[in-house]
Amino acid sequence: MDSFNLYKEAKDYYDQIIPKKTDGLILLSLYEKFREDNFNENDFLRTINQTLKDLGKQSSRKEYERNNSIILRLQDYFIWRDKTNKTYRLKPYGLEFCKRTQKRLIEGYSPAKIKRWFDDLYNRLKESVDQGDFKLWIEDHFNERHIQLGEQIEILDQQVNESVEEFKKLIKSEENKNDIIAFIRSIENKLEVIKEQAIELSKAFRGTYDIDEILTNMLQEEEQSEHLIDNRRVREFNNHVRSQLEQVSQRIDKIKPRIREFIYDFNQRDFDRKTDRFLTYLLTYSKSSQRNISLPKGIPRKIIRKQDLERKFTIIPEKDISPKTAQILSERKVNQEGQKKMLNKALKWKYEKDRVKYWTRIAVQKIEQKGELTFSPFFFKILKEEEKRLSIGVKTAQQVLEKSFYEKDYSVTIDKEKQSDEEIKNLSLWEMRIQKK
């Protein structure tokens, strides 16, 4: 399977396995009418003609040849033809294509469903790790669910795209100019709903952190080293979906101010237009004499100047200006012991982070200078110098391995012969070499 080249294989068959728009819509129409049942040639031809008419395609003088060509194309991968009974039915590939399309168009987001999926993935992962069968969890659970989980985010992102396109069409349209602000506000409200849905999905995706915790702990176990690639793939997927959800929310936050700015500018221009028309109307239809100005009919008279102004007094209650009694401030107690624990924890975390960064840099330098690094002795050297702090050694191994997987110039070979050190008891690991190509 490693030698299979998808691009080269698909290049010659693309037109057969991916239908054109017309052929695809005819196929979906047949699925809508007949599902998995048989249909005859008249049904087939009627569906073709109805679809082409709906698409605005003119009737062709060579209609027979056109219809026959469509039927033959769809028979390649999508439709069976029973020559004995002269009937047709959808092939499994055609059914899968139609069902997948239908599911993608009607399926909505569901945070509750995602939480159930993650709870199930988490529980199955714990069972698989306890039973030493992580590969089974990857094949039977993760591979089955991760596409469905990713689709939930795609649904939200597509809703944002649709709202943006709707907004663009609306501001260019000459119709419904009087109601344009109401329409745009409805789009803004729709985006707010989508953002709330993204926040709910983020809460549902919190299960990824529980799964990441188990996967990180697995990295410290010697017998789990053969699952490094699958382990990394799951953690990268979890990081990716969390990042996508954050990007959906950020994208909405960037769009909404532009919508509000458009509403403000539109209202300002609309007010200026109305003011200009009103002043033009006044100047055109008002009548003036030596002492009076008569406004047009329908405009009420206003008092422009009044000689006698009424005196107004502001009464301030005495309680508002009298001195107030001093309030006794409650003394705030600081949990010195709690702060000390938090500080020690933070310092320990920073120390480990700095030391892992240091040892990772040393390992990379050795690979670059000598062309290879036998990691087992290097691992025991770290433990000796770091007072047998296993977490520093394990995290350094993780960083070096991840860098090796990402760098095309590095290769990793693992020999399942256990290596140990006399000074460090009850600990062994497989011999591992990292080489520069």
Give which of 357, 353, 368, 378 is closest to 410, Cα–Cα.
Answer: 368
pLDDT in tens, 323-338: 777 777 777 676 778 7
Q: So what's the pLDDT on residue 90? A: 93
Distances (CA, A) of 145 to 128, 149, 211, 357: 16, 6, 14, 35
Residue with more model confidence, 219 or 38: 38
Q: So what's the pLDDT on residue 1? A: 45
Sign of CA pseudo-dihedral 367, 371, 375, 376:
negative
pLDDT in tens, 412-431: 777 777 888 878 778 887 78
Tally of residues, the chain: 437
pLDDT band at 2 (very low <50, low <70, confident <90, very high): low
Q: So what's the pLDDT on residue 302? A: 65
Residue with more model confidence, 134 or 310: 134
With helix as H, strand as E and coil as C, how does the chain read? CCCCCHHHHHHCCHHHHCCCHHHHHHHHHHHHHHCCCCEEHHHHHHHHHHHHHHCCCCCCCCHHHHHHHHHHHHHCCCEEEECCCCEEEECHHHHHHHHHHHHHHHCCCCHHHHHHHHHHHHHHHHHHHHCCCHHHHHHHHHHHHHHHHHHHHHHHHHHHHHHHHHHHHHHHCCCCHHHHHHHHHHHHHHHHHHHHHHHHHHHHCCHHHHHHHHHHHHCCCHHHHHHHHHHHHHHHHHHHHHHHHHHHHHHHHHHHHHHHHHHHHHHHHHHHHHHHHHHHHHHHHCEECCCCEECCCCCCCCCCCCCCCCCCCCCCCHHHHCCCCCCCCCCCCCCHHHHHHHHHHHHHHHHHHHHHHHHHHHHHHHHHHHCEEEHHHHHHHHHHHCCCCHHHHHHHHHHHHHHHHHCCCEEEEEEEEEEEECCEEEEEEEEEEEEEC
pLDDT in tens, 186-202: 777 777 777 776 777 67
Cα 77 from Cα 92, distance rounded (Å): 9
pLDDT in tens, 342-388: 778 878 888 888 888 888 888 888 888 888 888 888 888 888 888 77
**CATH topology for the 353-436 domain:** Arc Repressor Mutant, subunit A (1.10.10)
Are the beta carbons of 431 and 419 closer than 8 angstroms?
A: yes
Q: So what's the pLDDT on residue 312? A: 65
Q: So what's the pLDDT on residue 203? A: 73
pLDDT in tens, 270-328: 788 888 888 888 888 888 776 777 778 777 776 655 555 555 667 777 777 777 777 77
Residue boundaries of the structural domains of the chain:
6-104, 108-273, 353-436
Distances (CA, A) of 419 to 222, 376, 379, 425, 430: 11, 7, 10, 12, 6
Cα 355 from Cα 394, distance rounded (Å): 12
User: Is it the case that residue 36 has pLDDT exceeding 70?
Assistant: yes
Place of tokens 């939930």: 152
Q: So what's the pLDDT on residue 60? A: 64
User: Is it the case that residue 225 has pLDDT exceeding 70?
Assistant: no
Mean pLDDT of the chain: 80
pTM score, whole prediction: 0.44
Q: So what's the pLDDT on residue 304? A: 54
Give which of 88, 77, 84, 5 is closest to 40, Cα–Cα.
Answer: 88
**CATH topology for the 6-104 domain:** Arc Repressor Mutant, subunit A (1.10.10)
Q: What is the pLDDT averaged over residues 146-169? A: 76
pLDDT band at 404 (very low <50, low <70, confident <90, very high): confident
Percentage, residues of the chain above pLDDT 70: 87
Residue with more model confidence, 178 or 341: 341
Give which of 170, 156, 165, 160 is closest to 204, Cα–Cα.
Answer: 156
Q: So what's the pLDDT on residue 303? A: 60
The CATH architecture one would assign to domain 108-273 is: Up-down Bundle (1.20)
Domains 108-273 and 353-436 share a fold: no
Give which of 169, 198, 188 is closest to 255, Cα–Cα.
Answer: 188
Place of tokens 């080249």: 5
Place of tokens 């020690």: 344
Q: So what's the pLDDT on residue 282? A: 81
Residue with more model confidence, 295 or 66: 66
Percentage, residues of the chain above pLDDT 90: 8
pLDDT in tens, 92-116: 999 988 988 877 666 665 677 777 8
Q: What is the pLDDT averaged over residues 54-80? A: 84
Query: What angle do the packed helices 390-406 and 228-285 form, to 10 degrees?
Result: 70
